[in-house]
Amino acid sequence: MAYLTSNVPYFKCWVRKEFTNGHQNYHGEFIHAMAIAVTTMPDRCLSFQVIFTGCEADDGSQENVHGGAMWARMPLPALVGDIEMEEWPERMPTHLAQPWDVPSHYHSIIRYNRCNPSPWLCKIDGEFYKSRYLFTVDYTESEVADDPAQHKQSHVMILTDGQWKGNVVALPNNRVRVTSPAYWVTGEGAPDFRPSQHIHCAEQDDSYTDPEVTFNNLYKDETNAEKTSVRKKR
C-alpha cells in the first residue's frame, strides 16, 4: 500500500501562478505544467507533484524560465485542466473542489476502465456539471478511512462545463454519476442509499469455533464427514 505519494496517470494542466509566489503576486496568471503524482496528507486536500513545461513562452512573448522546474504538494485548487476554454476560470473554494479532506497517508491509485472515457456528472453546490474523469484515490489504514460509515474515495476530474469549467475537483461517490450510454441509462433523482454501519467478516461467525465446520474443505475425509452428520442428527 502506497504511503504519502504515488504516481498517477499524468495530466496536462495550468497552475495558478500566485501559488508559486506565496500568493503575493501574479494573481490571474497561469503556468503550464504536467501533474505526475499525488500526495495524501490527512486533514488537507489532495496535492500534486507538477513539472512545469514552459510552453506559455512558445509564442516568444516571454523567456522560458519555468520549463523543467518542479513543485511538490501543489494543492488541488491551484490546478486548471488543459482543455479548451474561452476564459480562465475563477478559483473554486476548496470545500467545493474537494468536500472531504484526505483521511489517511495510505492510499491506492486506480483508473476505472469501465468509467472512462464517458463524461461524469458532478453535483457541486446543488448544481450538476459535466466532467472528464482522470483517476481515483482510495484510502485505508486510519479510523476514518476504514470505517464503513465514513469511508470515501476521491474521484479526480476536470470540469468541462458551467461556471467552474476547467477546475480540477476530487469528489466522493455520493457527488457523482457515471455515464455510459452503451451499458446503462443514467438515472435521475436521489437514490435511497445509506452508508452501511457494519463490517462483514467471515471469522466472526460462531461456527468458526467448530473444527468440523472450519476445516470442512476439499481434503476432508468423506467417511468422517458422514459420521459427523449422523452424530449431529442423533
Distance CA(38)–CA(47), nearest Å, equals 6
pLDDT value of residue 60: 82
As a whole number, mean pLDDT of residues 114-143 equals 95
Q: Is residue 170 part of a domain?
A: yes
Buried b (16+ CB within 10 A) or exposed e, 143-181: ebbeeeeebbbbbbbbbbebebbbbbbbbeeebbebeee
The model's confidence at residue 59, banded by pLDDT at 50, 70 and 90, is confident
d(CA 25, CA 35): 22
For 68, the domain range is 2-178
Q: For Cα atoms 188, 179, 12, give the angle at the middle one, nearest 5 degrees.
A: 130
pLDDT at 37: 98
Structural domains in the chain (count):
2
212 and 137 inside one domain: no
85-98 tens-digit pLDDT: 999 999 999 999 99
- Residue 222's pLDDT band (cuts 50, 70, 90): low
pLDDT at 123: 97
